[in-house]
Amino acid sequence: MTIGVGDKLPDTMLTRVTPDGPDQVSSQEFFAGRRVALFSVPGAFTPTCSARHLPGFVDKAEELKARGVDEIACTAVNDAFVMGAWSKSAGSNAVTMLADGNGDFVDALGLTMDGSKFGMGTRGQRFSMLVNDGTVEALNVEALGEFKVSSAEHLLDTM
């Protein structure tokens, strides 16, 4: 079953990328008591993710925060070291990277995709969501191969 607006996020472990290295955090703890703009990409360093998705959230960070977002986070089925390297190369300090190395989080959300055709295995679908104290306030899931509704601009338009 796919998560929907009004649902509580499932509690799984994620790895937050910090300047001091990887830090394990439960999704329940990470999203508690604040409003988070979360977006998911199929993979760090992939073309659309690197050229448009992540830069869009970096560029719109101040606008999102002006509309009541406490934190912006990106998740992908990659390990924390890859997510950290991607963040550093993209200069994306405005976005917290959350590694979902085994895909447990996106699996629990019901938002996995099969990237085997591209040699990527099971990955998270491209989506954005607004999470308020652990509850999904808005959810925008892309059709496979598209980049329309999960952008920072679209999320801002729905707020």
List the catalytic residue out of 3, 14, 44, 49.
49
Tell which phi-psi region holds residue 75, choosing left (phi > 0), alpha (psi between -120 and 50) or beta: beta
Indicate if 74 belongs to the active site.
no
Span between the terminal Cα atoms of the chain, in Å: 25
Q: Per this entry, what is the length of the chain?
A: 159
Instruction: Report whether 136 contacts 112 (CB < 8 A).
Output: no
**If phi over 0 gives left and psi between -120 and 50 gives alpha, with beta otherwise, what is residue 121?**
left
Say if residues 60 and 152 touch (Cβ distance below 8 Å). yes
d(CA 125, CA 47) in angstroms, rounded, equals 15
Active site (catalytic) residues: 49
